[in-house]
Amino acid sequence: MSNPKIIDGKAFAENIRNKIAAQVASVQKAHGFTPGLAVVLVGEDPASKVYVRNKGEQTKASGMASFEYKLDATTSQETLLKLIDQLNKDAKVNGILVQLPLPKQIDAQAVINAIDPDKDVDGFHVVNAGRLATGGQGLVPCTPYGCLLLLKDRLGDLTGKHAVVIGRSNIVGKPMAQLLLNESCTVTIAHSKTKDLPGEVRRADIVVAAVGRPEMVKGDWLKEGAVVIDVGINRVEKDGKFRLVGDVDFQSCVARAGAITPVPGGVGPMTIAMLLHSTLVAACRQHGVELPK
Ligand code: GUN
């Protein structure tokens, strides 16, 4: 990747993972515990299976303990809640992640809210959403947290920047907007009912696209020099071949953007790196020790 405008999320995430591995070794030596992450997968969704496998592999590679639970697609909510209760009580488990989406018979928000908020490394529990909104010490959703690090790496202080977040999901859009607000950005949240999306985007110094619409954001929507973060991962077919594209039309945007994340290799690798970071943070808090420098 020779174009200096292209943000290399893969290399950035690798640096973070190396730092985490050193911090894990340091807590093991100084305090004698190993941080542990439990990942729960319900059903057979192919993309979820890949994500869960990658999470387990990278957890182990960082020196942390990985506990994987694979449940049948027909699992009842009651059974899943019993497992969550058991993991909440298990001192070896410092972080709990239930892979989404869940099968229809299960109320995902009820399951998330059954996780001990201090073990909720996804940051999706209503208590962690509240802490993020009110300035408390909580756990922050991994994907927006990773996007924020990439933005700060490129731009330094974000104070006063105009940020447009496209998408209002609980997983990305809303926490992303909250994180940018906490950095003193002026934040606009755009969504499917926004009247003039190109007009909103044209005013932005920072654009975060998280809508799940392939190549929707076009180059001529951008202000010259805007930093573009593409959270989308869309599998599209062209000429009989499948490829991954983001929510941003990379070819038209790269010319006008000041910096831009590619898909793949941009935001994607950051999500797991931030998950490992949150697991380490959660473990240190549970043990009442400082996070190693
Ligand atoms: N499915 C897609 N993204 C995520 C995520 O960040 N966390 C969980 N638990 N499930 C997901």
Task: Read off the pLDDT of residues 173-199 as tens digits, 9 standing for 90 and up.
Answer: 999 999 999 999 999 999 999 999 999
Q: Tokens 């473990």 label which residue?
A: 283
Asked whether 229 lines ligand 1 (CB < 6 A), one says no
Q: Which residues are within 8 A (CB) of 86 and not within 5 positions of it... i.e. 6 or more apart?
A: none
Give residue 148's pLDDT.
98
Q: Is 6 in the pocket of ligand 1 (CB under 6 A)?
A: no
Place of tokens 């969704």: 45
Rounded Cα–Cα distance for residues 232 and 245 (Å): 7
In the reported structure, the alpha carbon of residue 287 is separated from the centroid of ligand 1 by a whole-number distance in angstroms of 26
pLDDT at 263: 98
Nearest Cα neighbor of 231 from 268, 187, 260, 194 is: 268
Residue 52 in tokens: 């869960």
**Residues taking part in catalysis:** 55, 99, 122
Distance, C-alpha 232 to centroid of its chain = 12
Q: Whole-model pTM?
A: 0.97
- Geometric angle at alpha carbon 148, from 128 and 178, rounded to 5°: 45
Does ligand 1 come within 6 angstroms of the Cβ of 120? Answer: no
Measure 90 CA to ligand 1 centroid, in angstroms.
Answer: 22
Please identify, by atom number, the ligand 1 atom nearest to the C-alpha of residue 142: 6
Task: For residue 192, list its beta bridge partners.
Answer: none
Shortest-distance Cα residue to atom 2 of ligand 1: 100
- Point out the residues of the chain with pLDDT beneath 50: none
DSSP secondary structure code for residue 240 in this structure: T
- Rounded to an integer, what distance in angstroms lies between the CA atom of residue 106 and that of residue 262? 34
Residue 114's pLDDT is 98
Ligand 1 centre and the CA of 162: distance in Å?
27
CA 100 to ligand 1 center in whole angstroms: 5
- Cβ neighbours for 133, distance < 8 A, ≥ 6 positions apart: 178
Query: Shortest CA distance to 177 belongs to which of 190, 165, 169?
Result: 165
pLDDT of residue 238: 86
Please name the residue whose Cα sits nearest to atom 3 of ligand 1: 100
- Any ligand 1 atom below 6 A from CB of 122: yes
Beta bridge partners of 84: none
